[in-house]
Structure 1
């Protein structure tokens, strides 16, 4: 166990810093006290605990936020005395403490005001983001509509092509049917012609046979 005297410099008075130090010390099991110094930018901390705990305490009391701003921290370690039973805040006279609390309240209100400004900016930014999303959705809807229109046009062209193809096939079928009819008629005519030629040849042969017989009888 060791004893440490810590001088903290910065915006640490009328800012609620001593209460923050007290909470940290109680969480770590440190004994001692914290009090304002005559200098308006300084606070004194005297505490006792294991050295590792004191080192952790030194890290945690370097507070920086909208109200508290620790700029410098000086610690001097010595042997412990064991005089402390707990950790407490040593306050000044009643009037000065009331004045300090009022100053602290004003600083908190200022911090809240800054926070509200930040929230307002965030809300404004959110509105801009929503506006951007709305524009993106509008553009997407436009692109989708154009895509569907393009598909409809392509489908119409394909449909017309298929229709034209169907008509072409129908015409080809009709022409083939006509060709079959003509071929069938031509084949019938050829058959009749062949049959007629056959009769002529037969009649000619029979005639020659008769003439040959008649000539032989006369001889």
Structure 2
């Protein structure tokens, strides 16, 4: 058994990093702690076999969502056996609650961005389909049958519906 003490720097506070570290440590069977370190870093102490700790160090170098680890300062030493399991050392409850809200807002923004992108892709696909249909029908200006009018009305409705949703999600009033 061996011990590693790590100071993680970057965007690691108020983004759910400690929870991610806890989950990784738990999955690897590590013991130790993770806690915020004033003003911006996170302190991690972990004990286990060297191979598991090396895997752990690689896994916590997270570059996903709002978490952006820029530095991992490692200090390896002999194990102390002081930890029965891995846990998050929490601070003041008001700070912790604020962090939870920050994480929730970040996840909602991420989800909103992803859904907006899906809607824009759908709009682009609809436009391609409209153009293809108009070419097949010989152009809307030369052929005014019921099928062409229905297709144009449906496509326009889809476009405006998607546009309204997009602007509504982003809080624009147009």
- TM normalised by structure 1 equals 0.57
Higher mean displacement: 115-124 or 55-64: 115-124
Aligned residue number for residue 117 of structure 1: 116
* CA RMSD, Structure 1 to Structure 2 (Å): 1.9
- Note the C-alpha offset of 1:134: 4.8
In structure 2, relative to structure 1, the CA distance for the partners of 1:52 and 1:129 (3 Å cut) is farther
* Structure 1: runs of 5 or more not aligned: 140-219
Aligned residue number for residue 63 of structure 2: 64
In structure 2, relative to structure 1, the CA distance for the partners of 1:131 and 1:62 (3 Å cut) is farther
CA distance in 1, matches of 2:132, 2:82: 65
- 1:69-218 to 2 correspondence within 5 Å? 69-131=68-130, 134=133, 138=136
Aligned residue number for residue 216 of structure 1: none
In structure 2, relative to structure 1, the CA distance for the partners of 1:121 and 1:18 (3 Å cut) is same
Matched length = 137
In structure 2, relative to structure 1, the CA distance for the partners of 1:18 and 1:132 (3 Å cut) is farther
- Note the C-alpha offset of 1:131: 4.5
Say which structure is richer in helix.
1
Superimposed CA distance per residue, residues 121-144 of structure 1 (whole angstroms, 9 cap, x where no aligned partner): 2223332454466578x39xxxxx
Could you say what secondary structure the match of 1:88 adopts? Answer: strand
- Note the C-alpha offset of 1:90: 0.6
CA distance in 1, matches of 2:117, 2:65: 12
Superimposed CA distance per residue, residues 142-200 of structure 1 (whole angstroms, 9 cap, x where no aligned partner): xxxxxxxxxxxxxxxxxxxxxxxxxxxxxxxxxxxxxxxxxxxxxxxxxxxxxxxxxxx
Aligned residue number for residue 28 of structure 2: 28
Aligned residue number for residue 144 of structure 2: none
In structure 2, relative to structure 1, the CA distance for the partners of 1:121 and 1:95 (3 Å cut) is same
CA distance in 1, matches of 2:134, 2:58: 49
Aligned residue number for residue 149 of structure 1: none
- TM normalised by structure 2 equals 0.71
Greater RCO structure (CA 8 Å; 6+ sep): 2
Aligned residue number for residue 16 of structure 1: 16
CA distance in 2, matches of 1:130, 1:50: 58
Structure exhibiting the larger radius of gyration computed from Cα positions: 1
- Note the C-alpha offset of 1:69: 1.1
CA distance in 1, matches of 2:14, 2:24: 18
Aligned residue number for residue 142 of structure 2: none
Could you say what secondary structure the match of 1:124 adopts? Answer: helix
CA distance in 2, matches of 1:20, 1:135: 51
